[in-house]
Structure 1
């Protein structure tokens, strides 16, 4: 998967660096991401004063590839996008060919200029929401969320929310365990949009200092769809089953089994939201059939 970052003069460094770090870390973990940096000119000044170097020739893209438009400084010029018409057409053409286009913060303005927001839901930095809602009246602004996905057009809120967007895409490509591994390496929380819990179970229960419990969580995160007997988890942590249960519950508020069930439930919910049947989703996450899944969803 090729990730192309479109560098626009005055870009905010964290809008670019956050998603680039997520995909770069995922690539270091063995996932097939190639990062490219394209601009309308080679030298691209950032809002923070660092000048970045881009290539001006676009790589050949396939429908599997992603274009990301980081935001730029909007203090001057009322946030108006500075794109050339040819660049806006290229964004629209990639989407029309089946590709995905994403934005961070003010980058939503570039997507709007390309016609990609028309008839779709989108979000942006809270200070720009009224402005862009008025500028693109055929689009629907969604407030108070970190990111919005609508027909392969993905928009995120301000600055650091680009990290959340990128983690969401890694999870969609490779599963939540891999996204959680990347998030832990970056020392950030994995979040979701406003239609789901703001923090996934994998990281919602990580705010403790027990190394033994973290090791067990790592084991469960990596293989939550498989049977994981308590004896094997305790042996991996080098402690007794009783001690593991006590420490795990004290650190997370859950037993190891309940934690595993939460991970299975979250993944099954994601699969169902993507069109899987309850039965298929249940089997994908390790249940023999959908009965246990229905019981857990009912709770």
Structure 2
């Protein structure tokens, strides 16, 4: 039985807590072997939304398989907020040193920083807190505007709903994408958002299936979105025949691997164009040889977006 221990800080955001808690509660319902615990320095913990929570006031002994997760709290700034004792910070530090995993949502990254767990590691937090986190922990490498970052069993995520993405990623790492997809369906959310994505609507629309082979192919395409990927190479990398790749992928996603890659490229290009990049530059940045193909795809049904055409 793996324990997921939530460290409750006064003023915590309910969704920072309830999102990951629901993921692991659903995982337990599926028989994946999780026990949820809620601990804090005080038995009564007020939330930012006014709901009073109850916590175990004694910190448990942990084993390396256990996860400690720190939800964020209402924090226009980090300095002077989320105060915890040195004993609690040492408990976090010792758990990681013994081989355990620690994670945070939003401002919870500051707790990991105070425990010394961000030094020399990549991390992230809510976009409104990134500058302050960087100033407070100059030996950390703050990755901006991503959903979550994993570095040597220290897992940090952005604000609020990204805690769900973090938890689903950890479930995927331990149990595979099929388990994560089943949990996401139970929660009525899409199965996966990759940590490095800002907003991945194409990925989300086509990740709600449970075919692990197709998930692997999608991982390849997403990682190498700008490369020329032949069907033969996808087949080799995924360990399937070309015919099987096409059949499984189309059945699971409703599109061919090439169309999926094009949709990802167009979506990324739309984002770049919406932030001031020219169509020509955006086309080259996402892997098109020139802007003609991008313009053609942007005009087709199924590739359209709300971004004004240029």
By the TM > 0.5 criterion, same fold? yes
TM-score by length of 1: 0.70
**1:107–1:176 Cα change, 3 Å:** same
Q: Say if 2:77 and 2:129, in contact at 8 Å, map to a contact too.
A: no
Matches within 5 A, 1:112-261: 112-189=113-190, 190-194=192-196, 198=200, 203-205=204-206, 221=210, 224-225=212-213
C-alpha displacement at 1:109, in angstroms? 0.4
C-alpha displacement at 1:68, in angstroms? 0.1
C-alpha displacement at 1:180, in angstroms? 1.1
Instruction: Name the residue aligned to 2:47.
Output: 46
- List per-residue Cα deviations over 1:81-114 (Å, max 9, x = no partner): 3011100111000000000000000000000000
Instruction: Name the residue aligned to 1:263.
Output: 215
C-alpha displacement at 1:77, in angstroms? 6.8
Q: Say if 1:73 and 1:79, in contact at 8 Å, map to a contact too.
A: no
Q: Say if 1:12 and 1:71, in contact at 8 Å, map to a contact too.
A: yes
**1:153–1:224 Cα change, 3 Å:** closer
Q: Secondary structure at the match of 1:37?
A: strand
Q: Secondary structure at the match of 2:38?
A: strand
1-structure distance, mates of 2:58, 2:16: 22
2-structure distance, mates of 1:195, 1:77: 25
1-structure distance, mates of 2:49, 2:95: 30
C-alpha displacement at 1:197, in angstroms? 9.2
2-structure distance, mates of 1:184, 1:120: 33
Q: Which runs of 5+ in 2 are unaligned?
A: 223-234, 246-256, 262-310
**1:134–1:27 Cα change, 3 Å:** same
1-structure distance, mates of 2:202, 2:27: 18
Q: Secondary structure at the match of 2:170?
A: helix
1-structure distance, mates of 2:66, 2:39: 14
Q: Say if 2:10 and 2:45, in contact at 8 Å, map to a contact too.
A: yes
2-structure distance, mates of 1:87, 1:32: 26
C-alpha displacement at 1:32, in angstroms? 0.7
**1:40–1:120 Cα change, 3 Å:** same
Superposition RMSD in Å: 3.0
- List per-residue Cα deviations over 1:231-286 (Å, max 9, x = no partner): xxxxxxxxxxxxxxxxxxxxxxxxxxxxxxx324246799xxxxxxxxxxx99966
C-alpha displacement at 1:170, in angstroms? 0.7
- List per-residue Cα deviations over 1:97-135 (Å, max 9, x = no partner): 000000000000000000000000100011110011000
Q: Say if 1:264 and 1:286, in contact at 8 Å, map to a contact too.
A: no
1-structure distance, mates of 2:136, 2:110: 9
1-structure distance, mates of 2:188, 2:89: 35
2-structure distance, mates of 1:68, 1:283: 38
C-alpha displacement at 1:58, in angstroms? 2.2
C-alpha displacement at 1:64, in angstroms? 0.8
Q: Secondary structure at the match of 1:148?
A: strand
The list of structure 1 runs, each at least 4 consecutive aligned residues, that deviate by more than 3 angstroms after superposition, is 75-81, 195-201, 266-270, 282-288
- List per-residue Cα deviations over 1:46-78 (Å, max 9, x = no partner): 111111000012222111110000001114774
